Structure 1
Amino acid sequence: MGQRIPVTLGNIAPLSLTPFRPGRMALVCEGGGQRGIFTAGVLDEFMRAQFNPFHLYFGTSAGAQNLSAYLCNQPGYGRKVIMRYTTRREFFDPLRFVRGGNLIDLDWLVESTAARMPLQMDTAARLFDSGKSFYMCACRGDDYTPGYFSPTKQNWLDIIRASSAIPGFYRTGVTLEGINYLDGGISDAIPVQEAAKAGGENHCGDPHRTLANVLHAAVV
Structure 2
Amino acid sequence: MIYPWKFPMFSGFKKHKLTFPKKKVLILEGGGMRGIFPTGVLQCFTDRNYFPWKLVIGSSAGALAGTAYIARQIFMARDAFFSKLLKGKFIYLANILSSEKHILDLDWMIDTIVRGREPLDEWRLKKECPVLITATHIRYDGPPETIYLHSKKDDIFTALKATAAIPYLYKGFVEYGGHRFLDGGLLDPIPYMKALEMGFREKDILVVVTRPRGYRKRSESFWIRTLYENYYRDPKYRNLVSSMENRFEKYNKILDDLENRYTGIDVIYPPPKFDVDRLTKDEKKILMGFEQGVHEANRFLLPHIYP
TM band (smaller chain): 0.7 to 0.9
Question: What does residue range 7-156 of structure 1 map to in structure 2 within 5 Å?
Answer: 25-88=24-87, 90-99=89-98, 100-113=100-113, 114-127=115-128, 132-142=129-139, 143-152=143-152, 155-156=155-156
CA gap 1:141/1:207 in 2 versus in 1, 3 angstroms: same
Distance 1:196 1:217 in 2: 12
**1:204 alignment counterpart:** 206
Letter paired with 1:42: V
Distance 1:177 1:188 in 2: 21
Paired residue secondary structure (2:86): coil
Distance 1:153 1:34 in 2: 27
Q: Deviations over 1:90-121 (max 9, x none)?
A: 21112344343111110011011112231112
Aligned residues of 2:162 and 2:174 also touching (Cα < 8 A) = yes
Aligned residues of 2:130 and 2:151 also touching (Cα < 8 A) = no
Distance 1:84 1:116 in 2: 14
Letter paired with 1:218: I
Paired residue secondary structure (2:39): helix
Letter paired with 1:27: L
Letter paired with 1:174: V
**1:172 alignment counterpart:** 172
Aligned residues of 1:204 and 1:217 also touching (Cα < 8 A) = no
Distance 1:56 1:75 in 2: 17
Task: Give the stretch that moved more between structures: 63-72 or 97-106.
Answer: 97-106
Identity of paired residues, percent?
27
Q: How many residues are paired up?
A: 194
Aligned residues of 2:137 and 2:180 also touching (Cα < 8 A) = yes
Paired residue secondary structure (1:117): coil
CA-atom RMSD, angstroms?
A: 2.5
Distance 2:40 2:158 in 1: 24
Please report how far the alpha carbon of residue 211 of structure 1 lies from its aligned counterpart in structure 2 after TM superposition. 7.6
Aligned residues of 1:72 and 1:120 also touching (Cα < 8 A) = yes
**1:160 alignment counterpart:** 160
Distance 2:54 2:186 in 1: 25
Please report how far the alpha carbon of residue 65 of structure 1 lies from its aligned counterpart in structure 2 after TM superposition. 0.2
Please report how far the alpha carbon of residue 154 of structure 1 lies from its aligned counterpart in structure 2 after TM superposition. 6.7
Letter paired with 1:118: P
Distance 1:49 1:123 in 2: 19
Q: Normalising by structure 2, what TM-score?
A: 0.58
Q: Deviations over 1:40-75 (max 9, x none)?
A: 011011111111111111000011001011110013
**1:3 alignment counterpart:** none
Structure 1 unaligned blocks of 5 or more: 1-20
Aligned residues of 2:125 and 2:151 also touching (Cα < 8 A) = no
Q: Deviations over 1:7-36 (max 9, x none)?
A: xxxxxxxxxxxxxx96x7210001111111
Aligned residues of 2:126 and 2:151 also touching (Cα < 8 A) = no
Structure 2 unaligned blocks of 5 or more: 1-20, 215-254, 256-262, 268-307
